[in-house]
């Protein structure tokens, strides 16, 4: 079978996509303004000659095609250049932040996914019951409540008033956060995760539950569910084996999309909790027109989304026999 | 199953001479199903009415008999089928299968008794496109009941699945395929094979051919009849298609708005329909002869809402013979012939 061939073909299709996306991002960034002017605007002691020197130094005076090709050449060699602010290599900045963001997002996405399964199934089975309305209300609350507001309320209650959990950052080191009086690095990390993970899980959960509930309601109406009941299959097995397998596909799509966009997914949450992550860095870089960093993060996200899409398609073909890959 | 099958097959050949005095295989007594109608409120649901889906119906199905259940869509045919299998909970009434109380068994009985009943009764659904799990292979679909009932040792599952496929006119290599790879007629054959997997004595066939191509219908009907001869099966054949009912059933029950209006052996019902509703239905059966003129009786109006069924005889608003008595008084069953019953005040006018 052509699974390897299929993956290779899809990977080849990704090349023009990546080049296209990088070109568009590059042009949009160029149209947004002069990063050197922006960076030095508040500094009256800088002269026009010094600005000119900086532009020359970062290659901003060359024609755009030349600049783009130079960037592309470096990109192909795995080098994203240096940040305009502080001069740290972009590769180093990204690798120091990517893990923190991935940790926060993966935990939240998976938590939301696994909580939504029993919640979605239950509210579909008990459609129009008080429990269903409760689950739906919580879900709608999760969709409609703004992350910055909910995050700040949590900080206010659990950090400021109760003092149970840290309000900012991913690590307390060197001052570790005591969990039940115990201080160690693992518990410290967990304590820092609780609030941002709660906010993100809540936001993700809402969509998951609504999608699964709708899917289950649709599937439970089908005659093959009646046929399964008629042959005496226990109700639990009917729900979680037969119905769920058919209702879960939209959830897998959402899971694939969330994992694809997760690195850029939570700038607001990261900002509220001063989380040292990529989302926050992306927003800061965009405001400063720090083009090497913007391009670096854009490309990482692009590649992640393309890979997640490919994996989602493969998972689809695996769970649904009607979908074939070729 | 070998000996079982063959002994039944011998008996099955003379099923038409079945002794009338034998206790019926299935007996439905005064069966009622009301569905609640809820108000539109968001938080508090209030019951504002009820749909009279099945309203005090009684009938029997004998061993090795096919009983046709006909009526327009929405008259409660399918609900009746689901009630018998306890896929819907009856509001009241009794169902006896081979002397066992179905409602009692499923509401209070032990797990084993329930499984035993599940093994004796099966259903084939109307839409073969919705009644097969798209994520399962044909083999998994047909062998699933084996896992539940354990009536066949697991090393014989494969042979049994192949045999069932053969019985319904499919090939062993079809077992590894998924439902979407089959046509409607083939899917219905798979559904029949799944129903047969538990070795049932009674199958409720809910419009098994109405969603199929006309050219395929005869094949499936023949298969159903063939299985009856081979396995001594009994059927409740639910349909709105009178031609197929005539072809397949020995006895016919006519339903209108949740109630039975007439029941009789097939030939009597088709030759001498008594109830005005049955007469209108019969007149609409197409005659495959372009030279003969059809005298179709057109019923005025629509089927009334089952939420507020008409008083007296439910058919009175659409009946050209109805008078004040029909409006006020519910007709009881009158016996037209030894096995022909009709629920009409003025049946003797039409008999």
Query: pLDDT tens-digit profile of B139-175?
Result: 999 999 999 998 889 999 999 999 999 999 999 999 9
Nearest CA in chain B to A234: B148
A290 upstream amide cis, omega within 30 of 0: no
Q: What is the mean pLDDT of chain A?
A: 87
Tell me which of B45, B129, B130, B192 to substitute to probe the interface with A (most A C-beta atoms closer than 10 Å). Answer: B130
Q: Please report residues of B whose CB lies closer than 8 A to that of A321.
A: 134-135, 137, 178, 180
Q: Which residues contact B85 (CB under 8 A, 6 or more apart)?
A: A230, B121, B122, B123, B204
Q: How many residues does chain A have?
A: 326
- Please answer whether residues A198 and A158 qualify as being in contact, where contact means their C-beta atoms are separated by less than 8 angstroms: no
CA distance A180 to B350: 89
Searching chain B, which residue's CA lies closest to the CA of residue A237?
Answer: B148
Angle at B346 between CA B340 and CA B350, to 5 degrees: 60
B37 part of contact set with chain A, CB < 8 Å: no
Q: Is there a contact between B122 and A133 if contact means CB atoms under 8 Å apart?
A: no
What percent of chain A has a predicted confidence (pLDDT) above 70?
A: 98
Instruction: Give every CB contact of residue A248 below 8 A, 6+ residues apart in sequence.
Output: A117, A212, A215, A319
Residues A172 and A248 in one domain: yes
Q: Say yes or no: A117 and A250 in one domain.
A: yes
Do B148 and A246 make contact, defined as CB atoms within 8 angstroms? no
List of chain A residues whose C-beta atoms are within 8 Å of the C-beta of residue B81:
none
Domain final residue, candidates A41, A76, A111: A76
**ipTM of the shown complex:** 0.83
Q: Is B176 on the interface with A (CB under 8 A)?
A: no
DSSP code, position B299: P
**Same structural domain for residues A180 and A43?**
no
Mark whether A52 and A97 lie in a shared domain.
no
Domain region containing A8: 3-76
The verdict on residue A18 lying in a domain is yes
Answer yes or no: do A52 and A103 share one domain: no
Where a domain ends, among A15, A43, A76?
A: A76
A229 contacts B43? CB cut-off 8 A? no
Does A231 contact B125 at a Cβ distance shorter than 8 Å? no
CA dist A250 and A117 (Å) reads 12
Cβ-contact A281, A297 below 8 angstroms: yes
Is residue B28 within 8 A of residue B60, CB to CB? The reply is: yes
Q: Tell me whether residue A324 is in a domain.
A: no
Residue A196: inside a domain, yes or no? yes
Same domain, A207 and A107: yes
Tell me the HSE value of B96 on the side-chain side, using a 13 A CA sphere: 13
**H-helix or E-strand containing B218?**
helix B214-231
Residue located via tokens 């399962």:
B136
What is the average pLDDT across A77-91? 87
Q: Any idea what the Cα angle at residue A164 is, between residues A162 and A168, rounded to 5°?
A: 105
Q: Do residues A47 and A116 both lie within one domain?
A: no
Domain boundary residue, one of A49, A76, A103: A76
Picking from B239, B217, B219, the residue whose alpha carbon sits closest to that of residue B227 is B219
- Whether A320 is covered by a domain: the verdict is no
Residue pLDDT, tens place only, A265-316: 688 888 888 888 888 888 888 888 888 899 999 998 899 889 988 988 888 8
Closest C-alpha to B25, from B67, B63, B70 = B63
pLDDT of residue B43: 61
Judge whether B122 is closer than 8 Å to chain A, CB to CB. yes
- Closest residue of A to B41, CA-based? A128
Together in a domain, A18 and A159: no
pLDDT for position B2:
40
With a pLDDT cut of 90, the percent of chain A lying above it is 25
Q: How is B173-189 classified by DSSP, letter by letter?
A: GGGGS-GGGS-HHHHHH
The reply to whether residue B134 touches residue A321, judged by beta carbons under 8 angstroms, is: yes
Contact criterion met (CB below 8 Å) for A121 and A244: yes
The HSE-up count of residue A144 (CA atoms within 13 Å, CB side) is: 6
The sheet with strand B121-124 has its strands ordered as B121-124, B202-206, B234-239, B66-70, B251-256, B259-265, B340-342, B334-337
Chain A residues touching chain B at CB-CB below 8 Å: 128, 133, 222-224, 226-233, 242, 245-246, 319-322
Chain B residues 101-120 with CB within 8 Å of chain A: 114-115, 118-119
Q: Helix, strand, or coil here: B58?
A: strand
Using CB atoms within 10 Å of the CB of residue B28, give its burial: 0 to 12 exposed, 13 to 18 middle, 19+ buried.
buried
In this complex, which of A227, A231, A245 lies closest to B125 when CB atoms are compared? A227
Eight-state DSSP code of residue B201: S
Do A266 and A144 share a structural domain? Answer: yes
Q: Does residue A82 belong to any structural domain of this protein? A: no
Query: For chain A, what is the domain count?
Result: 2
Question: What's the confidence (pLDDT) of residue B20?
Answer: 55
**Nearest by CB to B134, which of A223, A231, A246?**
A246
Task: Tell me whether residue A295 is in a domain.
Answer: no
Nearest-by-Cβ selection for B115 from A222, A232, A245: A232
Please write the tens of the pLDDT for every residue from A214-227: 999 999 999 999 99
Same domain? A124 vs A40: no
What is the pLDDT, as a whole number, of residue A35?
A: 83
- Whether residues A102 and A214 share a domain: the answer is yes
A168 and A216, same domain (yes or no): yes
CATH of the domain at A106: 1.10.3720.10
| Residues of chain B predicted below pLDDT 70 | 1-21, 41-45
Q: What is the DSSP letter of B154?
A: G
């Amino acid at each position: 079978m052509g699974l390897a061939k299929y993956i290779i073909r899809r990977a080849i299709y990704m090349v023009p996509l990546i080049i296209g996306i990088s070109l568009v991002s590059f042009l949009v960034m160029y149209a947004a303004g002069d990063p050197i002017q922006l960076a030095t605007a508040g500094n009256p002691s800088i002269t026009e000659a010094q600005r000119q020197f900086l532009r020359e130094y970062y290659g901003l005076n060359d024609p755009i095609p030349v600049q783009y090709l130079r960037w592309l050449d470096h990109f192909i060699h795995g080098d994203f250049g240096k940040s305009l602010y502080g001069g740290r290599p972009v590769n180093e900045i990204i690798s120091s932040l990517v893990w923190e963001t991935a940790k926060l997002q993966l935990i939240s996405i998976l938590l939301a996914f696994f909580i939504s399964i029993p919640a979605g199934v239950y509210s579909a089975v008990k459609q129009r019951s008080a429990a269903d309305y409760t689950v739906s209300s919580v879900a709608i609350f999760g969709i409609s409540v703004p992350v910055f507001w909910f995050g700040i309320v949590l900080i206010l209650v659990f950090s400021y008033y109760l003092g149970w959990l840290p309000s900012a950052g991913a690590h307390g080191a060197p001052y570790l956060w005591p969990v039940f009086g115990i201080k160690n690095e693992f518990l410290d990390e967990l304590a820092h995760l609780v609030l941002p993970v709660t906010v993100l899980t809540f936001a993700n959960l809402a969509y998951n539950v609504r999608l699964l509930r709708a899917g289950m309601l649709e599937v439970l109406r089908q005659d093959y569910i009646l046929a399964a009941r008629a042959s005496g299959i226990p109700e639990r097995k009917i729900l979680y084996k037969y119905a769920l397998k058919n209702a879960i596909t939209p959830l897998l799509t959402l899971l694939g999309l969330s994992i694809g966009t997760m690195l850029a997914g939570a700038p607001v949450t990261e900002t509220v909790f001063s989380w040292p992550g990529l989302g926050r860095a992306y927003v800061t870089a965009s405001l400063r027109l720090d083009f090497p960093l913007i391009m670096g993060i854009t490309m990482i996200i692009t590649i992640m989304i393309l890979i997640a899409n490919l994996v989602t398609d493969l998972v689809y073909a695996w769970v649904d026999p009607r979908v074939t890959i070729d | 199953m070998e000996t079982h099958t063959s002994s039944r097959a011998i008996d099955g050949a003379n099923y038409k001479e079945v002794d009338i005095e034998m206790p019926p295989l299935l007996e439905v007594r005064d069966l009622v199903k009301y569905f609640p109608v809820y108000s539109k409120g968001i938080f508090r649901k209030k019951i504002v009415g009820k749909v009279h889906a099945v309203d005090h119906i009684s009938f029997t199905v004998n061993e090795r008999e096919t009983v046709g259940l006909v009526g327009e869509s929405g008259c409660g045919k399918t609900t009746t089928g689901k009630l018998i299998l306890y896929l819907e909970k009856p509001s009241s009434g009794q169902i006896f299968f081979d002397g066992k109380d179905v409602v009692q068994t499923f509401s209070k009985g032990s797990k084993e008794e329930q499984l035993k009943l599940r093994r004796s009764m099966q259903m084939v659904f109307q839409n073969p496109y919705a009644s097969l799990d798209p994520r399962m292979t044909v083999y998994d679909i047909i062998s699933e009941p084996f896992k539940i009932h354990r009536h066949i040792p697991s090393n014989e599952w494969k042979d049994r699945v192949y045999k069932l496929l053969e019985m319904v006119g499919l090939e062993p290599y079809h077992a590894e395929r998924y439902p979407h790879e089959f046509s409607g007629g083939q899917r219905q054959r798979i559904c029949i094979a799944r129903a047969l997997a538990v070795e049932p004595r009674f199958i409720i066939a809910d419009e098994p051919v109405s969603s199929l191509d006309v050219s395929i219908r005869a094949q499936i009907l023949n298969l159903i009849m063939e299985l009856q001869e081979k396995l001594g099966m009994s059927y409740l054949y639910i349909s709105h298609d009178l031609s197929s009912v005539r072809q397949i059933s020995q006895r016919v029950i006519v339903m209108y708005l949740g109630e039975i209006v007439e029941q009789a052996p097939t030939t009597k019902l088709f030759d001498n329909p008594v109830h005005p509703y049955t007469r209108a239905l019969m007149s609409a059966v197409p005659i495959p002869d372009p030279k003969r003129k059809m005298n179709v009786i057109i019923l005025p109006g629509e089927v009334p809402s089952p939420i507020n069924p008409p008083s007296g005889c439910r058919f009175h608003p659409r009946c050209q013979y109805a008078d004040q008595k029909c409006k006020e008084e519910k007709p009881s069953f009158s016996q037209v012939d030894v096995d022909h019953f009709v629920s009409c005040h003025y049946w003797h006018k039409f008999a």
